[in-house]
Amino acid sequence: MQATVSRYDGETFSGSVLTDTGIELPFTVHAVADTPVRHLRVGQRVRLVTTGSGASLAVSKVEFATEL
């Protein structure tokens, strides 16, 4: 799933993203811990790995979006 960064705190490495379907999802430091992501900016496109569905949808990993 792809999304756009809507908020990011560089001190806590947490924030939120807005998915292409219009859902805002928060993420914590754990979502970027094992990735090369060290800084994000508002408006940046990212790729997400999520768990759950509906009201329990959660971000488990945030990665840089790349063109295929």
Question: What residue spans define the domains of the chain?
Answer: 2-64
Indicate if the pLDDT at residue 68 is higher than 60.
no
Indicate the pLDDT class of residue 67, thresholds 50, 70 and 90: low
> pLDDT (tens digit, 9 = 90+) per residue, 20-57?
999 999 999 999 998 888 899 999 999 999 999 988 99
CATH for 2-64, among 3.40.50.10860, 3.40.50.10330, 1.20.120.140, 2.40.50.140? 2.40.50.140
Q: Is 29 helix (H, G, I), strand (E, B) or coil?
A: helix
**Cβ contacts of residue 18 below 8 Å, gap of 6+?**
3, 4, 6, 24
For residue 51, the cross-strand partners are 58
Q: Which of 48, 46, 68 is nearest to 58 (CA)?
A: 48
pTM value is 0.86
Average pLDDT over residues 55-67: 87
35 neighbors 8 (Cβ within 8 angstroms):
no
